[in-house]
Amino acid sequence: MIRNMYLLTKLSDNMTRVNFYAEGEIGGYLPRWVVNRELPKFMSAPTRWQEHFQHLRALRDLTPEDGVAIGTMLTTLVENITGNNRNVANKLSTFIEKNVALKELKETFPHVRTMMLGILRNKIVHVRKRKRAAAKVGIDLGPGRETTLQATVTVTAGSTLRTLSEKDAAKIGNSFAMFLLTSTEPKLAVDAWRLENSALQPLFDEHQFFEPMMQKIAKRLLASGNLGLKMRVFWGAFLSVGDLVSDTTVIVSYFEEGRTGQAYALISMVLTSLFFQALLVLAQNIKKSRSEILRELFFVVTFLKPAVDAYRVATGHEDDQLSVSPLKELSASKAMELAAESIPGNVLQIYVFITNPTRSTLHLVSIIISTMTTAFASAVMSFDFDASPDQRKKIPDFYGFMGDSNFERAATFLVMILLVGLHNLSKSIGVALLLVVSGQTTMIVLGGEMMAFLLAKLLRRDFTSFMPGVEGGLKITSSFFMHVTSKIIIDFTGLIHMRGPKLVGGAIFLVLTIEAQVLPFVAFEIYKNSDDVENKLDLEELETALRALLGAWAINVVLFFMLIKRKYRKTFWDPQTAWQMVIATYKSTDDPFQKMTAIFTNHISMSQRIKPDVIKYMAENWAEWERTKPSWFTPGFISKIPDEFIPQANLEELGGARRRRSSVNSLRELLLNNE
């Protein structure tokens, strides 16, 4: 038997809180799937109440929370409709007529219904279907107007919401599906759609409900089977599994050929990658139960983590118990996989291919798959960070180099894949040639490069990692690990995201990238002139291949700089360090969000030079933040702020010196926090 109760509490004259309570007596355990299936039945009444009163709220009263609710209602409306597009259009018309706010919006945007219909249909309109699709929503394109609906949509120049034609509103609405297809997360799709359609800017600027509503719609549409999401997850899983299968096959062949040393080396690389990813899972899920952590570890050991991470990023997965966002987890996981397994594994396989007289096709295929996996993972990482609206808002002078149209982003992504693949192949061949000649020489060259890089970091007072809350011995070890990993990844991928001041910086990135293209030719000369190497490759063919790789890489570099926005080109050779960037970001903006995230989402030592200014600024504004509760001013964010930056009276309200702080001093403390 199940009993339920509703408790209604008046909060104000226009707001009521509804609490729903349900109690079941079933005499045993109730499986989760049963709960998930049956619970909505009991929620039907409060859901109807919420929808009824949501419809009554005026446009001027709508908040971001209202936007999320309306977005949920609209997508639920479409999901529950079966039949043709006319049914969707009729239901949407009825919805808008019932909703006071959307009816008011029609006064300034007469064709909001037409635009929303195109969005909710979520269809890619092809050339042959465009006129027919337009007719279904009551629009006559007229004779000779069946031109291709491009990924980017051009509407009448100078259009405003009031003057926007029905045809243009339909174009804008229909284009949203293409932005979902080519985007990796809901916020990114909405942001790209906004940038491409400047006529919509007043909706985002003047109505705080609109952007959350669109993000909720995008999230629901993505989760309901978006092709772009499926392709992203498919390629992530396909390349990861393909790399695993090829590596396994190569390991078996090494044992069969008597190359046990190389076989065990490749196995150790895979295990090292799994070990570091397991540590990442522990740190990321430190607040969760052991069963949930075991589930995440299962994804690691079954090599499904890349696909799971890609799915979570693409669907806008939210979890308050995570230590960092899914996007940052995805990037960290990929970086560990690249540094520990993909990069050294590819070098090893190329080395074996060069020294093996038989040079089987199997080994060549495995090298190509490893290169493709590295290229795709690196390009996705750079794309995700640069296109992320959150990152663009936090650091607008660094993130945003890609164009805003679908074509520009797709072209830039493709060029980044080619750049990384060519870069990786050239550098790997160079190191493999050195290994063939002398392992000692190789270690001296690579070790010397690493020492020079770390010394440059120390001399520029740029050694401390940007990670906030990390102190003591862990600060030193984590900084060392981060720099070594970053150096390895840039050397062998030229990963564009790594040019950031918080990682290596533009100037060092430029030097490392050029050095990576020079090394193969130096290694070739050493290889060619060595008398100790037997069964050499055809020197003429090898030199031609190296020149072809360099030429193709150079062409893609030119294409890349032609595609990106001009103002971001300087970030590829800017000598700015991490602490200089933090201070510059703080001083260059009046936005509290950008100021505070610059200071407290990075290691606090980076803002030491402006500490008095920050303390003064926070003392002047803390009371206002307490009153207005901006979206970034959350308990989680406040926990990152050291005590000395919080006004004394407010610090005492938070619990004084006993308040909970987000900091860790050692790996042991990190692990024990989960017990």
Distances (CA, A) of 565 to 173, 217, 385, 569: 26, 29, 16, 7
> Is pLDDT larger for residue 555 or for residue 15?
555
Asked whether 120 and 75 are in contact (CB, 8 A), the reply is: yes
Q: Between the ranges 161-175, 228-242, 391-405, 565-579, where is the mean pLDDT highest?
A: 565-579
Structure-token pair, residue 421: 């693949």
pLDDT of residue 184: 62
The C-alpha atoms of residue 342 and residue 487 are separated, in whole angstroms, by 15
Q: Is the pLDDT of residue 670 over 50?
A: no
Averaged pLDDT for residues 31-49: 66
Averaged pLDDT for residues 221-236: 61
Distances (CA, A) of 537 to 353, 355, 429, 540: 10, 9, 12, 9
Element (H, E) at 9: strand 2-12
In which band, very low, low, confident or very high, does the pLDDT at 143 lie, cut at 50, 70 and 90?
very low
Averaged pLDDT for residues 145-154: 40
Per-residue pLDDT tens over the stretch 325-337: 776 787 778 778 8
Q: Is the pLDDT of residue 356 over 70?
A: yes
In which band, very low, low, confident or very high, does the pLDDT at 454 lie, cut at 50, 70 and 90?
very high
The C-alpha atoms of residue 300 and residue 480 are separated, in whole angstroms, by 25
Element (H, E) at 68: helix 64-79
Q: Between the ranges 176-185, 244-253, 289-298, 505-514, where is the mean pLDDT highest?
A: 505-514
pLDDT of residue 230: 58
Task: Compute the C-alpha angle 503/446/421, nearest 5°.
Answer: 65
Q: Between the ranges 8-12, 143-147, 248-252, where is the mean pLDDT highest?
A: 248-252
* Mean pLDDT across the chain: 80
pLDDT of residue 160: 75
pLDDT of residue 31: 64
Element (H, E) at 15: strand 15-24
Phi, psi of 268 (to 5 degrees): -65, -35
The C-alpha atoms of residue 335 and residue 348 are separated, in whole angstroms, by 19
The C-alpha atoms of residue 665 and residue 243 are separated, in whole angstroms, by 36
The C-alpha atoms of residue 200 and residue 214 are separated, in whole angstroms, by 12
Phi, psi of 399 (to 5 degrees): -90, 140
Q: SS3 sequence, 470-495?
A: ECHHHHHHHHHHHHHHHHHHHHHHCC
Asked whether 280 and 324 are in contact (CB, 8 A), the reply is: no
> Is pLDDT larger for residue 322 or for residue 579?
579
How many other C-beta atoms are found inside a 10 Å radius of the C-beta of residue 270? 20
Identify the weakest region by mean pLDDT among 17-21, 244-248, 269-273. Answer: 17-21
Q: Is the pLDDT of residue 339 over 90?
A: no
The residue type of 589 is T
Per-residue pLDDT tens over the stretch 75-117: 887 766 555 556 778 888 888 888 899 989 988 888 888 899 8
> Is pLDDT larger for residue 582 or for residue 137?
582
pLDDT of residue 134: 40
Residue 664, C-beta contacts closer than 8 angstroms, at least 6 positions apart: 469, 470, 471, 474, 670, 673
Within 13 A of 248's CA, how many CA atoms are on the CB side?
Answer: 7
Distances (CA, A) of 202 to 81, 112, 194, 336, 432: 31, 13, 10, 43, 57
Averaged pLDDT for residues 183-207: 82
The C-alpha atoms of residue 3 and residue 25 are separated, in whole angstroms, by 9
The C-alpha atoms of residue 597 and residue 576 are separated, in whole angstroms, by 18
Q: Is the pLDDT of residue 491 over 70?
A: yes
> Is pLDDT larger for residue 662 or for residue 642?
642
DSSP letter assigned to residue 126: P
The C-alpha atoms of residue 614 and residue 622 are separated, in whole angstroms, by 12
Q: Is the pLDDT of residue 1 over 90?
A: no
With tokens 């052991």, the residue in question is 290
The sign of the torsion formed by the CA atoms of 365, 369, 375, 379 equals positive
Averaged pLDDT for residues 174-185: 76
Q: Between the ranges 130-134, 245-249, 349-353, 533-537, where is the mean pLDDT highest?
A: 349-353
Helices (H) and strands (E) in the chain, counts: 30, 2
Averaged pLDDT for residues 515-543: 88
Taking each helix axis from N to C terminus, what angle separates 64-79 and 112-121, rounded to the nearest 10 degrees? 60
- This prediction's pTM: 0.70
The residue type of 24 is G
Averaged pLDDT for residues 58-70: 89
How many other C-beta atoms are found inside a 10 Å radius of the C-beta of residue 379? 24
Residue 432, C-beta contacts closer than 8 angstroms, at least 6 positions apart: 347, 350, 351, 353, 354
With tokens 């080994």, the residue in question is 363
Tally the residues of the chain.
675
Asked whether 312 and 355 are in contact (CB, 8 A), the reply is: no
pLDDT of residue 517: 92
Q: Is the pLDDT of residue 671 over 90?
A: no
pLDDT of residue 236: 62
Nearest to 328 by CA among 296, 283, 275, 287: 283
Q: Is the pLDDT of residue 428 over 90?
A: yes
The C-alpha atoms of residue 538 and residue 27 are separated, in whole angstroms, by 77
